[in-house]
Amino acid sequence: MKKWILLCLILTLTTLAIAQTKPKPYQEWTEKEVNKLLDNSPWSKTQTETDTSEMFFRPDGMGANGPVTSEQRAAGGANNQAISINYRVRLLTARPIREALARKVLLAQKTENPDLANRLANFVEANSSTNYIVVTVDYDTKDARYRNIPSQAFAAAVLATLKSNTYLDRNDGKRVFLIDYRPPSSDNLGAKFVFPRYVDEKPFLTPEFSQMRFYSQISSKVKLDVRFKVADMQYNGNLEY
């Protein structure tokens, strides 16, 4: 009898643990949860580049009415502060990223739109991970003038120049190189980098590996280098990437 009671207790605790770890539907995610998943999660990383060259005020000289002030320099385009560009690197072929993107669109709607919700559901369910790994890169900055750096870099980039220095690699050193590139478009997903999912007829990434790295030299001013921890990329029982 004691063994039977102990077994029932173990089964009950196991059931409770499974229920507690099961993620809630993306349709219930809050804006904070969505942003966390899109900016810093097992399937998304943020690489921040900071320019501190004009962090402190340095007089440019004398004006007609005396020394040039910080306000005058700011009006002329000086920053007087550190400026950062955030590069958001996301695994689009990972289901949780598609769910977060869909939820972000839904949260932006003032009223319910069943047709849009259905189309987003199809986007989430799309089996885009069959043969490819798709990495998207978006960017943001508080200073609009600094958007020119990534904007020009991603717009000018082409597959021919990217494919030799853009790749995914694993902790064992194995690499897969870029096979397609799409610059940012009106879909607001950012630039898209496409890689083969299979190597020697086997998935590029499996639980036996500990890390996957995305590297790309977009231009002389934009270089991306982020790492994803494989052990954290499980979602609803699947390795998502």
> Any bridge partners for residue 84, and if so which?
50
- The contacts of residue 7 (CB under 8 Å, 6+ apart) are none
Pick from 124, 127, 95, 129: which is nearest to 198 by CA?
A: 129
Tens of pLDDT along the chain (241 residues)? 444 444 444 444 444 343 345 679 999 999 999 999 999 999 999 999 987 666 555 555 444 444 544 454 444 455 567 788 999 999 999 999 999 999 999 999 999 889 999 999 999 998 655 799 999 999 999 888 788 999 999 999 999 999 999 999 999 999 999 999 999 999 999 999 999 999 999 999 999 999 999 999 999 999 999 999 999 999 999 999 9
Q: By three-state DSSP, how is residue 3 classified?
A: helix
Question: Could you state, in order of their start, the residue ranges of all structural domains in the chain?
Answer: 25-47+92-239
Identify the residue whose tokens are 């995914």. Answer: 168
How far apart are alpha carbons 73 and 84 in whole angstroms?
Answer: 19
